[in-house]
Amino acid sequence: MAESFARGAFSGTLSQDLVFPYPQMHPDESEVVDMLRDSIRKYAVEHIDDERIDRDAEIPREVLDTLSGMGVMGMIIPEEYGGSGMSVTAYCKVLEEISYHSAAVAVTVGAHQSIGMKAIILFGNEEQKKKFLPALAAGEEYAAFALTEPGAGSDAGSIQATAVPTEDGSAYIVNGTKQWITNAGFARVFTIFAKTDVPGARNENQKVTGFVVTSDMPGVAAGPPEKKIGIRGSETNEVHLENVRVPAENLLGELGGGFKIAMGVLNEGRLGLSTGCVGASQRLIELATEFARERRQFDHAISDFEMIKEKLAEMAARTFAVESAAYLTAGLADRGVKDFSLESAICKIMSSEALWYVVNEAMQIYGGNGYMQEYPFGRMMRDARINSIFEGTNEILRVFIAGMGVRGPGEELQMVAKALRHPTRDFGVLSRYFGRKIEQTFLRERMRDIHPELRETARYIERAVHQLPGRVEQLLRKHGRGFVMRQYLMKRIADIAIDTYGMVATTSRTDALLKSGTPAAQELAMTRWWCRKATRRIRRNLRGLVVNSDELTTEVADRILTETPWFNRAAQSS
């Protein structure tokens, strides 16, 4: 069994035991989470005015203080450091609830916990945890994650901030500027990443080191709040670091281990972002369905019309698929599965694109009303737009999914190529490779013990997992190492992986419901809808790996980049 379902799928491995049965929270924790969500809901209805937050570009301090009093700011911090020690799943459930009421508040809470303090929890030593976590858990202090720079966004290896050790080795002198840092205006604890001199480093990523920096250190300064088009209540600033003396004991993990730390933090942070998108989508679906039932045109409620039904069906099914994938992945994290980086990237892409679809269609269902400021759709659309950008743009994450997914098959092909030069000596390598190819061709792995109502969706999953490795191998043989620059192809590969994981998640979730005897007519219908749509997209993307218009796409783009655009020619000629 592979250590990651998504990685295994690229090699044709159907790692069902990783994703079945669908994970469930412990009943005691579930009860606590339900009570906390209920308290947040009651408070939010009375006191969280998202329209005012957007208008004033500020979250009232009493809102954050109240949430702190409920224990929200220390949910993921272990109990021994003053927190609640909640599971990843529980944390995501609470963030989903907050996002239902306010994206800006959810982003503030998420930046504090999902990423701001996460490096200390995951990679900090005992002294660092005791020093920083209790105040963060109580909401007495806030945390921020400072990775992005003006010249380094998704490419963490290109950061320019530097950390130079002092002669006696007691501290590091840090210089640089960090950009678009959420909570920077009031955070005291920053996870900062800077380049260090690392002997033997093979690339720029291996020079990145993480540090805990506090706002009271001389030379740390936050710039004025950025003027954003959405999530305006969350505070976003530049952070300037000028000859900041950071004690050596504030170094996180190992020298040169910062890139690994940053990626580890973002892997879990993307799950909170995903369930935040779920919460916002749920609110939009509620608004849209209520309006569709009540709004009458041509002597009918508009919900009677098939074009409206089509919108509602896709809004619901896409949100259900995202929710299923996010909590399946959170369950993997809670089980201690070490490698869920591809799955969390898939969830981030699915959720951000689903929310963008849902808010657009909800506005369309409302018609002209949706365009008026008295309704929340304009604000929610502006808030939703950031999700496909931060914590790794969706374009970068698609490249990541495809690149990491094909790494295993690529390394295997290299081993086989070497073994073919010495077949007798490396007979074991060849026998394993060709044995697996025979199994994939004649003894294809099947989904086991699936509820009879889900046999159709199980076949879709089997087909996708069996077809993907053959196409991946063809591409690797054709393009070799140059495949990493073929982003048209990588996007299709990533989208196949995304759709496959969505099918797995919805099927696993509905399978568990059906076997438990829980009424699941809605879930079954949405699972079937999603899987049928997904398998059609997969079929189209598989074909697109061979038959496509990629060369024409490049030609159009290159001509726009290098020639006078057609709409300017008339002005130039006159």
pLDDT tens per residue, range 360-385: 999 999 999 999 999 999 999 999 99
- Give residue 376's identity as a one-letter amino acid code: P
Alpha helix (H) ranges present in 303-393?
306-334, 341-366, 377-384
The DSSP bridge pattern shows strands 208-214 and 251-252 to be antiparallel
Q: Nearest Cα to 323, choosing from 107, 495, 451, 505?
A: 505
Report residue 485's pLDDT band, with 50, 70 and 90 as the boundaries: confident
State in Å, rounded, how far the first CA of the chain is from the last one.
68
Say what the pLDDT of residue 472 is.
87
pLDDT tens-place string over residues 159-206: 999 999 999 999 999 999 999 999 999 999 999 999 999 888 888 888
pLDDT tens-place string over residues 33-85: 999 999 999 999 999 999 999 999 999 999 999 999 999 999 999 999 999 99
Query: Cis omega before residue 21 (within 30°)?
Result: yes
Q: How far is CA 501 from the centre of its chain?
A: 14
Compute the chain's Rg from CA coordinates: 25
- Give residue 479's identity as a one-letter amino acid code: H
Q: What is the pTM of this model?
A: 0.93
Tell me the sheet residues that pair with 246.
Answer: 172
Report residue 155's pLDDT band, with 50, 70 and 90 as the boundaries: confident
Report residue 438's pLDDT band, with 50, 70 and 90 as the boundaries: very low
What separation in angstroms does the CA of 464 have from each of 5, 328, 459, 498, 539?
Answer: 13, 19, 9, 11, 8
Axis crossing angle, helix 455-479 with helix 521-544, rounded to the nearest 10: 20
What separation in angstroms does the CA of 265 have from each of 112, 340, 387, 391, 466?
Answer: 12, 12, 17, 10, 32
Structure tokens given for 478: 């054709």
CB contact set of 125 (below 8 Å; sequence gap of 6+)? none
Say what the pLDDT of residue 442 is.
46
User: Helix, strand, or coil here: 170?
Assistant: coil
The residue-averaged pLDDT of 382-392 equals 95
Structure tokens given for 294: 């009540």
Phi and psi angles of residue 221, each rounded to the nearest 5 degrees, phi first? -145, 135
The Cα–Cα gap between 504 and 14 comes to 10
pLDDT tens-place string over residues 212-222: 999 999 999 99
Write down the catalytic residue from 391, 395, 473, 551: 391
With a cut of 70, say whether residue 417 has pLDDT above it. Answer: no
pLDDT tens-place string over residues 273-307: 999 999 999 999 999 999 999 999 999 999 999 99
Active site residue 391: yes
Q: Catalogue all structural domains in the chain, each as residue range(s) with its CATH number.
A: 5-21+266-395 (1.20.140.10), 27-141 (1.10.540.10), 144-259 (2.40.110.10), 404-558 (1.20.140.10)
What separation in angstroms does the CA of 211 have from each of 88, 214, 268, 380?
Answer: 24, 10, 19, 35
Say what the pLDDT of residue 406 is.
87
